[in-house]
A and B are shown apart, each in its own frame.
Chain A
Amino acid sequence: MSTESRLGTGSLVIGTWHASVAAFLAAFLGAGDARAADFEVTGDIAAQGYEVASPFGDQVLGRRRLMTTLGLAAYNLQGEYKPFAPDYSIQLRMRLDADFGVDGEEEDFDPANPGRFVPGYDHTPVDLMYGYVEGRNLLDGWLTFRVGRQYTTDVLGWWNFDGGLVRLVTPFYISAEVFGGLEQRGGLPLSTSRWESQGVWRGSGGDIENNQQDYPSFQSASQAPAFGAALESFGPNWIKGRLVYRRVYNLGETFTGQFPAPGGQGFSQVDGLRLSSDRIGYSLSVYLAEIGGIKGGFAYDLYNQLVSKAYGSLDFYPHEKVALGAELDFFNPTYDADSIWNWFTHSPITTALGRVALGSFGGFEATASGGARLWLADGDPETYATAQCQANNPDPVAVANCLKFGIDASTGNDEVFSRTEENRDTTIAPDLLGNVGARYRWSNGFVAADAMLQTGFGDVATNRGNRYGGSVYGKQDVVGGLFWIGGRVSAHRWFDPMREARDAASFSYVVAPELFPWEYTKFRVEWEHDMNPLVGQRFRLLGYITLRVDSNLRGGFGSSYGYLGNAI
């Protein structure tokens, strides 16, 4: 596809986009009988340009990205808002995420450089982030519902599906929730792959259908039925608990064998309904204002038959401005049930941290945490190879040859050795972690700093590298709310013993002026300059526009003060 035609496609999408905004505004502003409701139109436009180089230095992507979102909402469709009375609303947000810096090899298969081809790649994808109708406080407060594309957030993660959710709030300190529909999947119309379980590429388009024999690991998108239920506490505010169950199915045909069968039989396939994920989780939080709190949760993967994640924290407030805490995080990667990686030997990542938080002292706050992350392996990397060779042939010469020239790990004594439990005793490679953060806020600005450290120990068998650095950033109103200036300086260093050539120290600065020409409109420009031995100089220019209009021609940016610094 030529550059011209790609730009043409993008222009068409953007043109359609603007037309839909105009149509919505015209419909709402012009419809007199709809004025009882409150409406809101929001939008973001981000244009950015930067370059990404391959670590080998020869491939360079000139990324020219345009991201724009359009949010439309109508609240209080029932008319005047009354607390605890039924109310209805509609909310949706769409997004265009285009990259006009794509070149031919990424979209069009080139036998001379097949590695860069991305099957089904779409450089101007449009997706519906969410779009639903919601009713609340129905049946005297007992019933809430949502229909459409919607998010749910709980111990099983942040998830998005198309369907319905009904919540029943009972007088017995508990609410019951059921939901069902279709999981949002990459390759389906107006969808992204963001919400799928890990481990499977799903997409659509002629590239994947026509070339799947070259890419047997890739799957054509198909619908994914899902359902679930939850019980949640609705009692005293100091305690919050939620038990949730969710199951998702895969549909459609997919290759199994990754290589064509001999004799021209082609690829083997499976088809039909099969499990994608099946998980149950529980979380609990108990907090007492003058003492502290305890929080924890876990998710159990019923397909993998293991705890896929668990966390817990204990907080103690020795003083109204001091919080002490201990946190534990356990994460065992699991994947879509279509993926082979569930059944590869892998270990959980466990992190334990101690934490102190201070503040606020006249606008100043600080936090610090430190602890360890534990990496586990089945066997001792230092001695495994020698023992493996000795198991095949204990003769010293044979062992030396084995270490030098290798062995066939699929047969004989080696298979027996690797399946013997005592040869796979768990070994631990710890990382040391530390984080500090501080922030000082005043009436029209803030300055903040953070620093991190993560480092391993020992030789290459256990040392997984180190990374440390920090940033100072802030923002200041310089012209009475009209013009703000933000900035960030950052220095980091990293080292990976597995890739010593990628050792680097990097310095970066960002300058970001912001203009508020009208009360609820923001223009921001960011100039980023990174410098390190890997890339030399790298620049990124970003322009950002945020708009919001509501039925009272007023609004805001919907951000808490503390988050103004996140983008900087």
Chain B
Amino acid sequence: MKRPKKRAGRASLLPQWLLLAGLALAVIAALAYGGGAAAQQPQPAPPTVPSGSVPSPDPAPPVPGTVPGPVPPAVPGAPAPAPVPGEIPHGRDHGLYPMFGNEMVPLKWMPPGTKASPMPSDEIFPPQTITIRFNHAWHVKQLKQTCKVCHSAAYKSKRSKDRLMPDPAKTCDNCHDSDHSVLTKVTGGTEDENGKCDFCHMGEGAGAEFRVAKMVIPDPNLRMSHKAHLDRNIDCAQCHGMVAEVELATREQLPRMAGCFSCHAKSGAAQGEAKGHCTNCHITEPSGLMTTSFSTGSLQPPTWLHGAAHTPDWIERHKSVAGTASELCGSCHSNKFCADCHDGKVRPRRVHPNDWISMHPEAGRQDNPRCTSCHQLQTFCADCHRRVGVARDTGSEDRLAGRRFHPPPQEWTTAPRGPRHHAWEAERNLNACVSCHTERDCATCHATKGVRGGSGVNPHPIGFDSKCATAFSRNPRPCLVCHTSNDPLLAPCK
């Protein structure tokens, strides 16, 4: 049994890797501007072709610019009817695909949000196996049947797993010369072609010995009340697109989240019933977090949801999403999930690869990744540096010979400030200093002379005077590390 084809044609595996890696820019340009409408409307999925069906001897010619789909099956000996002007074409070679000949469904007939999400989510709407040939356009436009005639169950349905397909005994049999009242003994028409089992059913004998191919429509993984929507006069097309214009309705006519957002755009109390909170529609664990693992894959946010697509560079990018919309992260992730990386005790190699212990001095100097995102410099960093004897907590006189991490004092410490002087490094990345040194190290030179024990080298930035009074009034401690309380230099700040 063939797998339904995605709207966007599936790439072959490894060769496409290489192609994409080599021609990335060309792909962007081509996809962005070269494809026109065809590029924005990938190929619709054909229905499953049942085993044993015979290809049509006269398949529709491929549409220019599209990928030809599989040849539609046809019943032997059933000639395709000639189209009548003004009439919706129908016949045995119709109703096999969303559009006759497996043409592309125009975007305007697709569910809202299709432009942003060409295919419905596999995790929410698992792949289906449709073994019915059915021409919605014919039934609705030509025979003037409404959606409710066949899908009346939707008007009472409050759960997504309710079966909304028509009861053939109450609907199909009204017009077709068939009797589905006992499903184990269905009888097909003897005179009228439209009553034969294989007029609608495909595969596994198509009715011989009451055997037709099984149709598989897995339960959607979401909360959904059709009744709630229909009671508010939200018609079918508002979520499913123009099903009346297509022949076979497939998964592709199922809603897209971007489309749901046209109404479900609000959250919180007193903002109507179309709440926008994730768990309004998505199913949850007992913890209240969204269920994200399904047999068909793991649910992940779309690109357009605050830029939260979990792309290969998500590790680098996620901070801006978490900082702006942390509630979105908390819909799926527990406290533990964040803590495992940000407050974890096992090194995440995606962040700290290779021999990180050897490499991290340069990474810290480059601020890439930013150490303070996860680490407290004076404890996590400096404590470990002390343990291995890198950090300096004692005077130079107590340090063992050769235990100097920086250039010699005449380059690194003393004036004048040469190109390798520590002042430049401190100005560019002060956190690197703080990851090893204590205040006393700095006060040795930068505290005032005399009681405070320093050398009086002023470390303050230009313009400091305008800020110091406010700072001193709120916390005098840092000032008093280097200045005595009666220091004249401190007077302007009091």
Contacts and interface: CB of A to CB of B under 8 A. Distances in A.
Contacts of A117: 386, 393
A498 B407 contact: yes
A59 B388 contact: yes
Nearest to A56: B403
A220 interface: no
Interface in A424-472: 424, 429, 431, 433, 435, 437-440, 443, 448, 450, 452, 454, 459-461, 464-465, 467, 469, 471
30 contacts: A53-B388, A115-B403, A116-B388, A155-B323, A169-B267, A171-B271, A194-B380, A203-B379, A256-B477, A258-B439, A259-B447, A268-B480, A283-B324, A293-B304, A315-B307, A323-B303, A340-B439, A343-B461, A345-B427, A345-B459, A363-B13, A366-B20, A373-B367, A375-B429, A388-B417, A415-B458, A464-B428, A492-B354, A492-B359, A494-B362
Contact of B372 (A155, A198, A494): A198
A385 to B, nearest CB: 4
A262 B27 contact: no
A456 B431 CA distance: 19
B216 interface: no
Interface stretch (A6-14, A25-33, A211-219): A211-219
Interface in B224-257: none
Contacts of B210: none
Contacts of B417: 379, 381, 384-385, 388
Interface residues of A, number: 234
B9 to A, nearest CB: 8
A397 to B, nearest CB: 15
Interface string A332-367: 010101111111111101000001111101111111
A429 to B, nearest CB: 7
Interface string A269-284: 0100011101000011
Given A115-B391, A238-B265, A496 B343 contact: no
Nearest to A152: B326
B264 A56 contact: no
Contact of B402 (A56, A359, A450): A56
A459 B418 CA distance: 13
B144 to A, nearest CB: 34
Interface residues of B, number: 190
A289 B258 contact: yes
Nearest to B118: A320
A410 B447 CA distance: 10
A339 B440 CA distance: 11
B468 to A, nearest CB: 8
A153 interface: yes
Contacts of A440: 13, 17
A240 B355 contact: no
A460 B350 contact: no
Contacts of B362: 465, 467, 494-496, 502
A465 B17 contact: no
Closest 10 CB pairs of A and B: A437-B312, A259-B453, A561-B298, A461-B419, A38-B286, A409-B415, A141-B269, A171-B270, A318-B32, A530-B355
A287 B304 contact: yes
B108 interface: no
B304 A454 contact: no
B227 to A, nearest CB: 15
Given A467-B359, A534-B358, 19 more contacts: A155-B323, A171-B270, A237-B264, A237-B266, A258-B439, A275-B474, A311-B320, A317-B303, A318-B31, A320-B116, A324-B28, A339-B439, A343-B479, A381-B424, A406-B410, A409-B457, A464-B365, A499-B405, A538-B358
